[in-house]
């Protein structure tokens, strides 16, 4: 008697896969050739990003070592499955033999410039390598050589323009003033002209726009832009208002705007520590109160509406540096002893994770980025170089193997 095997229509299989987490979809590539072909289709990957029922957000952490740790921000930190070690994309070889020394080795560790749609932009100081990387897929691409160090520029950011389907690197020149607290008298002769340089991944080219920006740079930790939707945000010092404000750059309109902080912000009372995006779709700022007793997190409930700023969290000052807030309201951050902690809104410790195993890492050297797991790659924009294992399948196609 002939045995019949019932199979689901491929279109129904597609609809099911579109709603599964990235890691599950990647495992299902091994089921059969038709599933592999379906999952490898660029349009499927775009649809998966747009339709995912429960996207997974992870926290990428790097300190003074060559590896990066990726943490599921919604998982219990004390579970072994919450964190995985990733292999960093390699930089290009030194251009000169004398670069093989301790100094060069220490400068081959990447800076995290930003994250967008599951892609991470890394910068390697030794050779000025800029590499875009999808940690979920283990694919990476080195950008064209830049003659300068982006991290020394006053402001920079990484984002995506949906109107042109183009990833962009933004570099903005401002009048630098890391000592803004002691420079509040202002001057009529201050130079307010600057340049906005935009690198297009699609055209593989730069273009420069002259801009008028009456702002000053607040220093190194504020130079990386925070992406919210199609807009990059930076904390800068307003020369006119004599207080920090948020400078916003619309990646679609290519236009700047200013967003004020909360009404009762005063530099005599507050020191702004960070600008973050809260999970759930709001911008937030973390501030230290000058009396040294408490830290506060303010959330802008309605975008660009100053009256919507709300003081949502007040915690005792303890050397804790907030990084992000998960869906349950848990505040993830690094303490001065080098461990990742999750606090509640009263500042009470809920969980902790020692970053890098038993190593003691200083939070001042910790770099981080929140990213959403995605199947997106850069095939439709620029060519991709893979890291990790690749092989040819029976049809002569190269398949991707995630490195986790």
Domain borders along the chain are 10-54
What ranges make up the beta strands (E) of 99-200? Answer: 111-116, 119-124, 129-134, 139-142, 155-161, 166-172, 175-176, 193-200
User: Phi and psi dihedrals of 341, rounded to 5?
Assistant: -125, 150
CB 92 within 8 A of CB 130: no
Coil, helix or strand at residue 344: coil
Sign of CA dihedral 322, 58, 171, 277: negative
Structure tokens at 166: 């183009």
Q: Which long-range contacts (CB under 8 A, 24 or more apart) does 90-95 make?
A: 90/387, 91/124, 91/126, 91/127, 91/129, 91/131, 92/127, 92/129, 92/142, 94/126, 94/127, 95/127
Structure tokens at 157: 């950011």
Q: Would you write out the chain's pLDDT as a tens digit for each of its 404 residues?
A: 555 555 788 889 999 999 999 999 999 998 889 999 999 998 999 999 998 877 889 998 876 556 688 889 888 887 767 788 888 887 776 655 544 454 455 556 788 888 999 999 888 877 778 888 999 988 888 877 665 556 566 788 999 999 998 999 898 887 544 443 434 444 444 456 778 889 888 888 888 888 877 888 777 778 888 998 899 999 888 887 788 899 999 999 999 999 998 887 776 677 777 777 665 578 888 888 877 688 888 889 899 898 899 888 888 877 788 888 888 888 888 877 768 889 888 888 898 887 655 544 444 456 788 899 999 876 655 544 444 333 333 333 322 333 33
The DSSP result for 369-396, as a single string, is EEEE-----STTTS--EE-S--EE-TTS
Structure tokens at 218: 């607040």
The set of residues, in sequence order, having a beta carbon less than 8 Å from that of 291 and lying 6+ positions away, is none
Distance CA(374)–CA(52), nearest Å, equals 9
The set of residues, in sequence order, having a beta carbon less than 8 Å from that of 326 and lying 6+ positions away, is 57, 73, 74, 279, 332, 342
Q: Which long-range contacts (CB under 8 A, 24 or more apart) does 188-193 make?
A: 190/214, 190/239, 192/239
Q: What is the pLDDT of residue 233?
A: 93
Which residues partner with 284 through β-bridges? 276, 299
């Amino acid at each position: 008697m002939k045995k019949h095997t019932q199979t689901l229509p491929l279109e129904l299989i597609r609809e099911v896969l579109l709603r599964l987490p990235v890691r599950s979809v990647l495992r299902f590539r091994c089921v059969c050739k038709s599933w592999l072909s379906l999952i490898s289709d660029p349009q499927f990957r775009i649809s998966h990003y747009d339709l995912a029922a429960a996207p997974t957000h992870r926290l990428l952490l790097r300190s003074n070592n060559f590896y990066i740790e990726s943490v599921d921000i919604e998982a219990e930190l004390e579970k072994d499955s919450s964190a995985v070690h990733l292999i960093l994309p390699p930089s290009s070889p030194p251009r000169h033999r004398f670069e093989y020394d301790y100094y060069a080795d220490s400068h081959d560790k990447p800076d995290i410039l930003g994250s967008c749609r599951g892609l991470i932009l890394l910068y390697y100081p030794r050779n000025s390598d800029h590499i875009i990387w999808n940690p979920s897929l283990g694919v990476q691409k080195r950008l064209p050589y830049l003659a300068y160090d982006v991290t020394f520029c006053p402001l920079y950011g990484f984002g995506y323009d949906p109107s042109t389907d183009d990833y962009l690197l933004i570099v903005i020149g401002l009048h630098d003033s890391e000592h803004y607290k002691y420079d509040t008298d202002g001057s009529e002769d201050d130079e307010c002209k600057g340049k906005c340089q935009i690198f297009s991944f699609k055209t593989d080219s730069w273009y420069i726009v002259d801009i008028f920006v009456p702002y000053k740079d607040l220093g190194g930790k504020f130079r990386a832009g925070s992406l919210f939707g199609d807009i990059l945000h930076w904390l800068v010092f307003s020369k006119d208002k004599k207080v920090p404000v948020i400078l916003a750059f619309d990646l679609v309109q290519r236009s700047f705007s200013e967003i004020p902080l909360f009404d009762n912000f005063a530099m005599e009372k507050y020191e702004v520590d960070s600008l973050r995006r809260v999970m759930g779709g709001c911008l937030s700022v973390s501030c230290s109160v000058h009396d040294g007793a408490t830290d506060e997190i303010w959330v802008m409930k309605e975008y660009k509406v100053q009256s919507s700023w709300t003081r949502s969290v007040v915690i005792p000052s303890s050397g804790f540096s907030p990084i992000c807030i998960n869906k349950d309201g848990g505040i993830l951050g690094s303490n001065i002893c080098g461990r990742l902690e999750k606090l509640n809104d009263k500042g009470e410790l809920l969980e902790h994770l020692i970053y890098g195993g038993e190593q003691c890492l200083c939070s001042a050297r910790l770099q981080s980025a929140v990213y959403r797991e995605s199947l997106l790659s850069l095939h439709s924009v620029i060519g991709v170089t893979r890291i990790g294992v690749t092989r040819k399948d029976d049809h002569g196609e190269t398949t991707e193997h995630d490195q986790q």
